[in-house]
Structure 1
Amino acid sequence: MGYYPDWLGYDFPPTKIDFRRFDWIDFAFAVPNADATLSWDDPSAPGLLDKLVSTAHSQGSKVKLSIGGWTGSKHFSALVATNHSRETFISNIFEVYISHQLDGIEIDWEYPGHAGSSSNEFDGNDTANFLLFLRSLRASLPSGARITAAVEPKPFVDSTGRALEDVSEFAEVLDWILIMNYDLWGSSSHPGPNAPLYDACGNSTQPSGSALGSYSAWTNAQFPASKLVLGLPSYGYISSSIARNLRARSKPTNRHHHHSTTLKIASGDGDSDGQIQFRDLISQGALSPTGDKTRYYSSHGFEQLWDSCSCTPYLRSPQSKQVITFDDPTSLGMKAAFAKQTGMLGVNLFDVHGDTDDWILVDAIR
């Protein structure tokens, strides 16, 4: 599985995706408005979605529409709060589902019961209302439609803000959930891992903030492993730092994914987002290929190091005062192996364009 954001249309059209490597593609994002309609960040998005669907279907793959996202979750709370608002919202989702010949819907609400972005509305009844909404959505969409949710590493919260101990009712209505095990640490003067596999050193302030931690949190809350999908990043973060060791304590960052930051090898730093795709680490010279397609060596003044606490690599350049936390074929392969060993349904890469043209990352996790 992989995400295809609407901002890729100009540089990476759907015809460049090797659909033989993907069962599902999630098109991101449709944005809910206050009046329960859906809008798009880019006016070309509806046409791009149609092109994605037709190309995917011609090659045996399926497409879900992801609704919401970090900056698109402002109105979810109000839209699921009453019977009337839920019915109106679902009617508009149904119309988009049919008109674009979709195979499923993903709800990426960040987050029920508490705000991701500071502008997001939230209410103590969000989680209960979300369940009612999902049940109605299930009853309204065609029987073959897949309904999924993108979730944070810990389970949904109750009216007091505490993680629920039993989310089994959500498992009854959702086909699967995608655990967003990335952005645990963003661009920072004290860098930390973007997507930890483990908290192997046992000193994270977010015990659920790793592949193992999130798996344990959701399965302990009665969500079956067979309906869990592990989210994997094809990007990392640039930080202004000369630190040799990564911080172990998680510092959540925002999930506002856009075009990646330009890497300045000789000087410069990461901005407030500070994201850089794996393909750009190669094209801009921080990583160079070896004879082994799964391994790269550092170059242009960077040294490549390994954080044994999180099982992730990072690059360090004392000259440019940069630390780059990222994932490579080895670390992503380890996370994919973990997902398989624990009985999870699969993995999902955000996003497909972050990989190389010959799909090094995707092949490492397949």
Structure 2
Amino acid sequence: MAYYPDWLGTSFSPSQIDFMLFDWIDFAFAVPNENFELTWDEASAPQLLKELVTAAHGAGRKVKLSIGGWTGSKHFSSAVASNTNRKKFVKSVLTTYRSFELDGIDLDWEYPGKRGDSGNHFRASDSANFLLFLKLLRQTLPTTARISAAVETIPFVDNQGNAMVDVSEFAAVLDWVVIMNYDAWGSLSDPGPNAPLHDACNNSTQPSMNAVAAYNAWTAAQFPASKLVLGLPSYGYINPSTATHLRARTESPERSRKDDLNDDFVTVVSADGGSDHQVQFRELVEQGALVRSTNSSDSIPRFVGNGGFERIWDSCSDTPYLRSIFSKQVITYDDTESLAMKVAFANEVGMLGINLFDIHGDSEQWDLTISVRRAIK
């Protein structure tokens, strides 16, 4: 599974997707407005969604529409706050579902009972109201429709703001949840891993934000492992830093072999110029900070640092990072090796699958996705 954001229309069309690598594609995002109806941030989104559905169905694959997102969750709380509002919202979802011949709906409310992005509405009753909405949505959509939700590494919160100890009623109406195990740390001068597998050193300042902790939290709250999907990032963060280790470490970093394959020193930039300083895996390759290793005999491709960057392995989180003393940058990211380790964990504990955010972050050769699929088998 992978998310296909609506802003990819001009740079990465549905025709460029290798659908044989995916079972589901989530089109992101439709946004609930103040009238509790679905709208679009991008004018081109409706046509792009039609193209995606046509291409996916032609390849025998399925498409869900993801609703909300970080900047699109402002009116979620109000849309589910009363029975009248819920009915209106569900009606709009059903109309959109039918109009685009979708196969499912993904609810990416960030977050019930919490503010999330600046300006978001939220209430103490959000989680309870969300459950009522999901029950109504399940009753309204065709029985073949799949309903999922993108969630934090901890379960939904109760009316006191604490993680719920029993979310089994949510499990009864959702086909699966996608655990967003990324953005643990953003762009900082004191960098930390973006998507930790675990807290192996037991010293993280955010011990709930890793794949192992997320699995433990959700299953302890009565959500079955067979309905958990682990979200994986195809991006990382550019950190203006000369740090020699990642945040909350007590051990020395395990260094990979340094390859000076390019004498020209590279300074990595975010292609979209965003203030969040996110950088996609494909950009690290295209800009020359990473190159494919010629010494790898493994079943998955390996990448090494280049252009003045040294690839270093953080054994506390089991993720790599790149460090350049020349550009004064530390890049926290995931690669084929770290993603394969997360997939191995998901397999071991019986999780349903994997979802990549987002599909365009992978390399031209689909290195991340192929590595994930090989690790699943």
Please state which band the TM-score falls in when normalised by the shorter chain: over 0.9
> Measured at CA, do residues 267 and 233 of structure 1 come closer, stay the same or move farther in structure 2, by a change above 3 Å?
closer
Q: Once the two structures are superposed, what CA deviation does each residue of 1:81-126 show, in whole Å capped at 9, x if it has no partner?
A: 1000000000000000000000000000000011111211110100
Contact in 2 for aligned 1:237/1:275 (Cα 8 Å): yes
- More moved, 353-362 vs 126-135: 353-362
Q: In structure 2, what is the equivalent of residue 258 of structure 1? A: none
Q: In structure 2, what is the equivalent of residue 200 of structure 1? A: 200
> How far has the Cα of 1:265 moved from its partner?
2.7
Structure 2 residue identity aligned to 1:191: P
Structure 2 residue identity aligned to 1:285: G
Match of 1:363 among 363, 366, 370: 370
Q: In structure 2, what is the equivalent of residue 175 of structure 1? A: 175
State yes or no: 1:274 paired with 2:277: yes
Q: In structure 2, what is the equivalent of residue 289 of structure 1? A: 292
Alignment coverage as a number of residue pairs: 352
SS in 2 for 1:39: strand
> Measured at CA, do residues 163 and 100 of structure 1 come closer, stay the same or move farther in structure 2, by a change above 3 Å?
same
Which whole-Å CA distance do the structure 2 matches of 1:121 and 1:100 have between them? 29
Which whole-Å CA distance do the structure 1 matches of 2:45 and 2:344 have between them? 34
State yes or no: 1:347 paired with 2:350: no
Q: In structure 2, what is the equivalent of residue 227 of structure 1? A: 227
Which whole-Å CA distance do the structure 2 matches of 1:144 and 1:90 have between them? 16
Which whole-Å CA distance do the structure 2 matches of 1:290 and 1:165 have between them? 46
Contact in 2 for aligned 1:337/1:365 (Cα 8 Å): no
Which whole-Å CA distance do the structure 2 matches of 1:189 and 1:40 have between them? 35
> How far has the Cα of 1:207 moved from its partner?
2.2
Structure 1 residue identity aligned to 2:293: T
State yes or no: 1:103 paired with 2:110: no
Matches within 5 A, 1:1-366: 1-248=1-248, 265-266=266-267, 272-291=275-294, 292=296, 294-366=301-373
Structure 2 residue identity aligned to 1:103: D
SS in 2 for 1:305: strand
Which whole-Å CA distance do the structure 2 matches of 1:268 and 1:101 have between them? 39
SS in 2 for 1:90: helix
Percent identity of paired positions between Structure 1 and Structure 2: 62
> How far has the Cα of 1:296 moved from its partner?
1.3
> Measured at CA, do residues 266 and 182 of structure 1 come closer, stay the same or move farther in structure 2, by a change above 3 Å?
closer
Which whole-Å CA distance do the structure 2 matches of 1:154 and 1:115 have between them? 16
Q: Which TM-score applies when normalising by structure 1?
A: 0.94
Q: Once the two structures are superposed, what CA deviation does each residue of 1:14-63 show, in whole Å capped at 9, x if it has no partner?
A: 01111111000000000110101111111010000000001000101000
SS in 2 for 1:304: strand
SS in 2 for 1:101: coil
Contact in 2 for aligned 1:125/1:158 (Cα 8 Å): yes
- Root-mean-square deviation over aligned CA pairs: 1.4
> Measured at CA, do residues 179 and 266 of structure 1 come closer, stay the same or move farther in structure 2, by a change above 3 Å?
closer
Which whole-Å CA distance do the structure 2 matches of 1:54 and 1:110 have between them? 29
Contact in 1 for aligned 2:31/2:67 (Cα 8 Å): yes
> Measured at CA, do residues 267 and 314 of structure 1 come closer, stay the same or move farther in structure 2, by a change above 3 Å?
closer
Gaps of 5+ in 1: 250-263
Contact in 1 for aligned 2:268/2:289 (Cα 8 Å): no
Which whole-Å CA distance do the structure 2 matches of 1:320 and 1:205 have between them? 27
Contact in 1 for aligned 2:179/2:228 (Cα 8 Å): yes
Q: Which TM-score applies when normalising by structure 2?
A: 0.91
Which whole-Å CA distance do the structure 2 matches of 1:116 and 1:336 have between them? 28
Which whole-Å CA distance do the structure 2 matches of 1:97 and 1:65 have between them? 8
SS in 1 for 2:322: strand
Contact in 2 for aligned 1:165/1:220 (Cα 8 Å): yes
> How far has the Cα of 1:168 moved from its partner?
0.4
Structure 1 residue identity aligned to 2:354: V
Moved over 2 A (4+): 264-272
> How far has the Cα of 1:204 moved from its partner?
1.7
Contact in 2 for aligned 1:187/1:272 (Cα 8 Å): no
SS in 2 for 1:77: helix
SS in 2 for 1:121: coil
SS in 1 for 2:341: helix
